[in-house]
Amino acid sequence: MGNLVEGRVAVVTGAGRGIGREHALMLAAHGAKVVVNDLGGDTDGSGVDASPAQQVVDEIKGMGGEAVVNGGNVADWDDAKAMIDQAIESFGGLDIVINNAGILRDRMMFSMTESDWDAVINVHLKGTFAPSHHAAVYWRERAKAGEENDARIINTSSPSGIYGNIGQANYGAAKAGIAAFTMITAMELAKYGVTCNSLAPAAYTRMTAELPGFAGLDEEAQEKMGPRWIANVACWLASPEAANVTGRCFDVLGNRIGIAEGWVLGPSAEQGEDPESLTDIIPGLMNAARLNSNMGGQPQGGPGRPSNEL
């Protein structure tokens, strides 16, 4: 066991399985006390099961760490406050919030229902905002009382959100929103001693096992794409070492880590007074502009991130 986050208190949402589970275990292995949140539903958000979160807590205690179960719904305002309060009451404070909970309801736009859209946006986007809000209130009150914070919010975006992916308009929109939320939150909370970063991870989990690029991976490939690599980055970002890192989105694929640089202003020109003038202007801008990135974070036609890049 290391000591990168020794004595720090963390809330990890969606921590019963997959990436969230690895976050909780890695933090605990490096000395953090962890509130393990998980509603325990299926990948589409249906159902409730407390046993995955309890298993993670048992595993942490088995390694000599400290952890408690929280079965709240991250998108429920009162549940989100309760998980923040639970951390403070159980362990005497709060230093880290990792917003990881999520579901999938992939559909093409013309097949997507209102409930498909609402459920995914609710869990991912509101489920990131609600715990973050209640944590931010706590840290702001500490700062106003003259106490120092060295706190972290770590959100979970996705290549589907920052680069785009067919069949995931709901999921991608939520994840793009999380990336923007991260940048703005970083600006707003800097003066209170709080950093905010996001991860855009790709990992082999139960949520991705049947998706293109993941389905059919052999055991060795699954290991190379395992979620523990994502937890490495989250644990470091949660530590005092990362005090000056904020507002960034880290693209993590296996043991490769990079920074997604986001939207930038490309070629520009002055418009004429009539919209018809754009007939001559916009084609020139299009020819000069880089294409949107593919799922590998590279302009279309570039080297990209092939499904077998491990």
Could you say which of 171, 198, 239, 293 is catalytic?
Answer: 171
Could you say which of 132, 158, 160, 239 is catalytic?
Answer: 158
User: What backbone torsions phi and psi does residue 179 show, to the nearest 5 degrees?
Assistant: -65, -45
C-alpha span between 131 and 87 (Å, rounded): 12
Q: Which one, of 92, 173, 186, lies nearest residue 136 by Cα? A: 186
C-alpha span between 238 and 195 (Å, rounded): 9
Task: Name the residue type at position 160.
Answer: S
C-alpha distances in Å from residue 75, one per residue of 116, 122, 132, 206, 219: 15, 6, 11, 21, 34
Task: Name the residue type at position 167.
Answer: G
Q: Which one, of 166, 139, 157, lies nearest residue 259 by Cα? A: 157
Does 175 participate in catalysis according to the annotation?
A: yes
Could you say which of 160, 163, 175, 198 is catalytic?
Answer: 175
Does 224 participate in catalysis according to the annotation?
A: no
Q: Is 116 left (phi over 0), alpha (psi -120 to 50) or beta?
A: alpha
Task: Name the residue type at position 55.
Answer: Q
- Cite the active site residues: 158, 171, 175
